[in-house]
Structure 1
């Protein structure tokens, strides 16, 4: 099942370290068939408040998502992001196209 790496980053310091992180992250995703599907941008808020920058990276499955996050290549650049931003990051399973809202009740 498709898995996503999701982050909501705040207080990103756009400095040399973040620029290096951005230049190197794509190469860490490629071996795990990961790709960005959301990478920042200004949301059109239709309800509530939002604080941060949303990033969503899609992977074919959990093994690829976890493998990417735990990989030596990503671990090498991770401090460039965590040392220059605040936020949360997570791995999350997607749902099938035939998923209904009521499926969570079962």
Structure 2
């Protein structure tokens, strides 16, 4: 962690008072994305539901194997655990969820 008071940022500043901390673009963009999603209750609900799906299936190897069989049959990428630091995992998880929903709609209607 960069930690302004106790982290790496503080240690570097202690060694060199002129050292400035500049976060990389990827980390800044990640923080912007997190804040944007937290402002939208619909997005929060979707990500919460997708995470609960992942937890439900990954809690049992039997359920996980059944899910993987269905996903492989239809060429859907596997569910991913949502990560606070890797927003691409959010995209992957929602993409897999969306594809499953499309297949369910096709076969249930």
Task: Give the number of the structure whose residues are more often strand, by fraction.
Answer: 1
Task: State the TM-score, normalizing by the size of structure 1.
Answer: 0.30
Task: Give the number of the structure whose residues are more often helix, by fraction.
Answer: 2
Higher relative contact order (CA 8 A, sep 6+): 1
Task: State the TM-score, normalizing by the size of structure 2.
Answer: 0.29
